[in-house]
Amino acid sequence: MENKIAEDIYWVGLYFPDIQASVNSFLVRDEKTALIDAGAPATAQGIISNIKTIIDPKEIDYIILTHNDLDHAGGLKDILSVAPQAQVVASELEGRMIGMWGLTVQPKIVKDGERLTLGKHTLRFVATPYVETPGAMVAFEEKEGILFSADLLGAAIPQWTLFAHDNLTESLKQYQAWKLDNSSRAQEALLKVKDLPINIVAPSHGLMIKEGIKNYIETLAR
């Protein structure tokens, strides 16, 4: 299965054809290697297996949590069991809640607009409060222009292809209405990222998006 999104950046998530849904995690390899989101308890072993096709999990330096929902952070304990040296990175509010997964780790706290340099790649964090949880955030990878958009810009998908080839407008609308209830917070978050130089959207659920990104964002923000 195709998994390379850009140079040194990989999809390591899982797709479930029975429910037309994916749980996406992403690996950024560099002088420091970052895993973006840890998946759910039920998907953690699959994510670990996917990581092992690319690197030894012990090479992971950071585990970025966009927020503490079950399908983003529930697999954290399993991931840390194979990457014990990795430092968890989260917003202050989400960092306080890591203990709910049975962990006593001290996370690296990042603020809105703060950057984490991995080497050639730099992640800029953008706070998107109450898009799912109070301290939710997305991450923008500045070298390739990849927005790791968490629950923004997700969609149900009848068939897995790493990158979307069809128009996703209706699928994106339906997902936002169902998952985010078309909330004003989701609209505010979309407006906050719309002027970033995005070349690829890598959501936590759904296909990667290369085409029509600005139009999708503006449409959903309305």
The full set of domain ranges for the chain reads 4-221
Tell which wins on pLDDT, 25 or 177.
Answer: 25
**How far apart are the C-alpha atoms of 190 and 186, rounded to whole Å?**
6
| Element of type H or E holding 148 | strand 146-150
Residue-level pLDDT at 222: 82
When pLDDT is averaged across residues 65-72 and rounded to a whole number, the result is: 94
Residue type, position 117, single letter = T
Predicted structure pTM score: 0.96
Architecture in CATH of 4-221: 4-Layer Sandwich (3.60)
- Per-residue pLDDT of 29-61, as tens digits, reads 999 999 999 999 999 999 999 999 999 999 999
Cα separations in angstroms, 35 against 20, 139, 218: 24, 12, 29
**Alpha-carbon gap, residue 106 to 98, rounded angstroms:** 9
Starting from the edge strand earliest in sequence, which strands make up the sheet with 200-203, in order? Answer: 115-117, 122-127, 137-141, 146-150, 200-203
Angle at 40 between CA 32 and CA 196, to 5 degrees: 50
Please name the amino acid found at residue 149: S
> What residue has token string 């029975």?
18
